[in-house]
Structure 1
Amino acid sequence: MDVRLLLAQRYLVSRHQVTLIAVITGISVLGVAVGVAALIVVLSVMNGFYRVVRDLLVSVDPHVRIVGVAPGGIPASDSLEQALRQLPHVRQVTAYIEGKALLLYEGSSEANKVVIVRGVEPEALKALTHVFGSVDLRGQKEGRPGVLVGMPLAQRLGLLPGSPTEPASQVGLLSAPALEQLLMSPLSPPPLIRFEVRGLYQLASGYDESYVFIALEEAQRLFRMPGRIDGIELRLDHLDRAETIKTLLQQQLDPTQYRVQTWYDLQRGLYEVMRLEKWGASLILALIVVVAAFSILGALTMVVIEKRRDIGVLQAMGLSRRRVRQVFWTAGLLIGLAGAGLGCVLGVGLALLQQQFQLVPLAGSEAFLIHAYPVAVEPLDVLGVLLAAVVLCMLAAMYPAARAAAIAPARAVHLEE
C-alpha cells in the first residue's frame, strides 16, 4: 500500500479506540453524504418537473417550426413540404395558420369568447389522443365545415358534436380582418363563417380553454390568406434532434425569408426560468457540503496538531514536504469519496424509489395531471454533484496540508521532548 494512503487512513481512523478526531471525521462524512443525497434528490425532482412541462408543451408545440420573417406569412408550397419530408429524422410535415378570432354561439348565456384558431392539415390532428367525436374537419357537400373545441370551453358554452339523435352545435368565427371591416363599414358587414362542432379534445387547461382547430383551407378563407400559410411545423422521431435539424435548415433556407425555431425557442422564457430555479436550489443545498468541508478542515487541523511530532519524525526519516502535503490531500480525498459515495447511494436510491412507487404525493394532486412528485435521474447531474463534493473536500484539506508541510522536523521533535 502507498505510504500516503496508509498514513491518511491511520490519521483518520484508529484501530484500537474511538478518538475525537475519528468522531469528527465520521460527522464530516455524514455531512457530505447528506448534502450529496439532498442535491441528487432535488435535482432529480427538478428534472422531473422540467420533463413533465416539456412533454406537455411539446404535445401541442412542434419540434421544429418554420415561419416567415416578414408579416403576412409565406407562400404555400408543396415542393418545400416535399423537400422537408426528405430530411433525416422527420416524421411529419404540416402547414398551419394561426390567429385570433371571436367565437360566437347563440345558445350560451355567456359573452362571446376570443379564441386562438389553428388551421391545420388532417395529419396534424392525429397527435391528439383524447378526442371525443371526429377529427375530420373538412367541409361536406351538405353541411358546414367542422371545428374541434376543447372540453372545458365546450362544457362552459354547452357545445356538443353531432349524434344520431341530436344535431351538432354550430358556432361562428369572426376574424380580426372581418372585425376591422365590421367597424369600418357597419352598413356592409362581412359574412359570418359558421362551423359545426365535429369533436372535443382534452389537453392542458391553457390550450383547452383558448385553442380551436379548423381545416387549413377554411383558415385561409377565415383570415383572408389565399395561397399563403403562417408556417410549417415538423415533428421528428426524437425531440433531441431538433437543434440538428434547425442548423441544417438554416443552411438550406434563405434567412431573409424564413426563420427556424425549435420547441425550446417557442417557450424559451419558461424553460430558462425552470433551469434557473434548478441551479438556484442546487447552490443553496450545496451549502450543506460547504459546512461539512469546514468540519473536514477542523478535523485535519486537529490531526496536524496532535501528530506534530510524528510528522517531524517522518520528515527526519526522509519524507519530503511534498509527500506530507499529499498525505493530507489523500485524507481529504478519502473523506470526500466516502461521503460522496454514501450520499450517491442514498440519493439515487430515494429518487428511484419515488420514481417507481410514488412515495411522496403532490398536495392537491386532484388539480394536476400528475399525482406524485416526478423524478428523473440525470447521470450528468449525479456525476457533477459527486465531483463537486470531492473537490470541496480536497480544497478543505489544503490548509491542514500546508500547515503540516511547514513543520520543522528538529523543532517538532525538540518541543515534544
Structure 2
Amino acid sequence: MNLSYFIATRYFRSKEKKNFITVLSRISMVGVAVGTMALVVVLSVFNGLEGLIKGLYASFDADLKVMPVMGKSFEVNDDFLSEISSMDGVEILTEVIEDNALVRYGEHQVVATLKGVSENFLEQNRFEKGYFSGDMSLGEGDRPQAILGRGLSYFLLLDLDDDFELMQVFYPKEPRAGSIDPSSMYNRSVIQPAGIFSIEKQYDDEYLIVPLDFAADLLEYGNKRSALEIKVADGFSIDNVKSNLRNHLGEEFLVNDSNEQHASLLMTIRLEKLFVFLTLTFILAVASFNIFFSLSMLAIEKKKDIAVLMAMGGTQKFIRSIYLKEGAIIAFSGALIGLLLGFLICWVQDSYGLVSLGVTSSIVDAYPVKMRWTDFLYTSLSVVVITLIASYRPALIASKVKTTMHL
C-alpha cells in the first residue's frame, strides 16, 4: 500500500479521540454526499421531463416534417408525392394543410389552428400517449368530422353528445371589388365535432383537426400544402431518411425531425438543466470549504507527525500528498455515498412514483426521472475538481510548516 495513502487513511479513521477536527471531517463528507445526491436527483428529473415532453410531442407530431423554406405553402402533384412515398424508409406520407381560422360553436367563438390531414393521419397512433374521448374519426365523404383539443373545447363549451349543434369554421378571403356583401369576405363551412384529445397545452388550446378536403375547400388551397408529415418505417434510421429527403428535395424545403420541430423548447430545457447543474455545483463547492478548514486544522494539529516524517527523510512533496489524499478520501467517500443515494432515490421514484406531481389531470401521476451515466460522470468530475481546489492549499501549507524537534 502507498505510504502516503496509508497515513491519510489512518488520519481519517482515527478513533483515539473524537475532537472537533474529526467532527468537521465527517460534516464535510456529509455535505459532499448531500450535494452529490441533489445533483444526481435534479439532473435525472430534468432528463425525465425532457423525455416526457419528447414523448408527448412524438404522439402528435410525425417523425419527419417537410416544409417550404419560403412562404407557408407549396404545390404538390401525384408524381411528387409518389417519389417521396417510394423512398427507402418512408412508411406513411401525410399531406397537411394548416392555417388559422375562426371557429364558432353556439354563442362562443375562438381563433384556432385548423389542421387538415389526409386519411392516414389516424393510422399512426397519434394520440396513444394522451387523453382521448369521443369518436376517433374524421368522417367520410360529405359528412366530415373534427377532432379538437381539450382547451379548445372548453373555450367553445363543446358538447359531444349534442348531435344537432355543428361547429362553424370561417376563413377570410380577398374581397371582390365593388362588393358590399359581408359574406363575400370570408368562406364558411360546418363540421361535426367527433372527439377531444389532450396531449400538451399548446396543442390542446389551439388545434382543430379536420379532413384534408375540408381544409382545402375552406382555405381554397387546391393542390397546395403547408407540410408533408412522414412516418419512418421500423428498422430505418430517422437521420438517414432525413438526409436522403434533403438531398432529394433540395434547398427549397426543410426536413425537420421531432427535435428540430421543437428546438427552442428543448434548448430551453437543456439551458435550465445546465444552470441548475452550475448552481448545485457551486453549492457543492461551498460545502467543500469544510474540507479546506478541516485539513488546515489537521495540519496544525499534526505538526509533530510532520516533523517526525521529515526527520525520517520525508519530502515536502510526500507531506503534501498525504493531505491531498486525506481531502480525496473525505470527498470521494461523500461522493460515493451521494451517488448511491441519488441512484436509489431515482430508482424508487421511477419504480413506484412516490413523489406525485399534484395535478389530477396530468398525463403522468408522478415526477418522471431518467438516469444517464453522463450525469454521474460529470458529477464525479465536479467532485474531483472541487476536491483538488479545496485540498491543495492546506496541503501546501502543511508541507511548509516550520517544525522543531525537542529531544
2:211 matched residue in structure 1: 215
Mind listing any 5+ residue stretches in structure 1 that lack a counterpart? none
2:127 matched residue in structure 1: 128
Q: Counterparts of 1:184 and 1:241 in 2: how far apart (Å)? A: 56
| 1:151-182 alpha-carbon deviations (Å, 9 max, x no partner) | 55446444537xxxx856433322233xx437
Correspondence for 2:107 among 106, 109, 120? 109
Q: Is the partner of 1:413 in helix, strand or coil?
A: coil
1:412 matched residue in structure 2: 403
Alignment of 1:266 with 2:261, yes or no, is yes
Q: Is the partner of 2:140 in helix, strand or coil?
A: coil
The normalised TM-score by structure 2 is 0.86
| Cα pair distance change 1:23/1:207, threshold 3 Å | same
% identity of equivalent residues: 27
Q: Is the partner of 2:360 in helix, strand or coil?
A: helix
The normalised TM-score by structure 1 is 0.84
Task: Tell me if the contact between 1:160 and 1:197 (Cα under 8 Å) persists in the aligned partners.
Answer: no
Task: Tell me if the contact between 2:45 and 2:369 (Cα under 8 Å) persists in the aligned partners.
Answer: yes
1:50 matched residue in structure 2: 50
Alignment of 1:333 with 2:328, yes or no, is yes
Aligned residues: 398
Task: Tell me if the contact between 2:29 and 2:334 (Cα under 8 Å) persists in the aligned partners.
Answer: yes
Task: Tell me if the contact between 1:94 and 1:234 (Cα under 8 Å) persists in the aligned partners.
Answer: yes
Q: Counterparts of 1:189 and 1:197 in 2: how far apart (Å)? A: 24
Q: Counterparts of 1:320 and 1:91 in 2: how far apart (Å)? A: 71
Q: Counterparts of 1:339 and 1:366 in 2: how far apart (Å)? A: 38
Q: Is the partner of 1:66 in helix, strand or coil?
A: strand
Alignment of 1:402 with 2:385, yes or no, is no
Aligned-partner residue type, residue 392 of structure 1: I
2:230 matched residue in structure 1: 234
2:295 matched residue in structure 1: 300
Aligned-partner residue type, residue 368 of structure 1: S
Alignment of 1:373 with 2:370, yes or no, is no
Q: Counterparts of 1:359 and 1:22 in 2: how far apart (Å)? A: 36
Residue 118 of structure 1 deviates from its aligned partner by 0.7
Equivalence map 1:84-99=2 (5 Å): 84-85=84-85, 90-99=90-99
Q: Counterparts of 1:372 and 1:243 in 2: how far apart (Å)? A: 32
Residue 50 of structure 1 deviates from its aligned partner by 2.4
| Cα pair distance change 1:103/1:292, threshold 3 Å | closer
Residue 294 of structure 1 deviates from its aligned partner by 0.8
Residue 323 of structure 1 deviates from its aligned partner by 3.0
Task: Tell me if the contact between 1:355 and 1:374 (Cα under 8 Å) persists in the aligned partners.
Answer: yes
Alignment of 1:146 with 2:145, yes or no, is yes
Correspondence for 1:202 among 197, 206, 215? 197
Q: Counterparts of 1:182 and 1:189 in 2: how far apart (Å)? A: 7
| Cα pair distance change 1:295/1:234, threshold 3 Å | same
Residue 86 of structure 1 deviates from its aligned partner by 5.7
Correspondence for 2:139 among 137, 149, 155? 137
Residue 377 of structure 1 deviates from its aligned partner by 1.9
1:13 matched residue in structure 2: 13
Residue 103 of structure 1 deviates from its aligned partner by 2.1
Aligned-partner residue type, residue 23 of structure 2: V
Residue 344 of structure 1 deviates from its aligned partner by 0.9
Q: CA RMSD in A?
A: 3.0
Q: Counterparts of 1:247 and 1:406 in 2: how far apart (Å)? A: 63
Residue 191 of structure 1 deviates from its aligned partner by 7.9
Q: Counterparts of 1:405 and 1:251 in 2: how far apart (Å)? A: 65
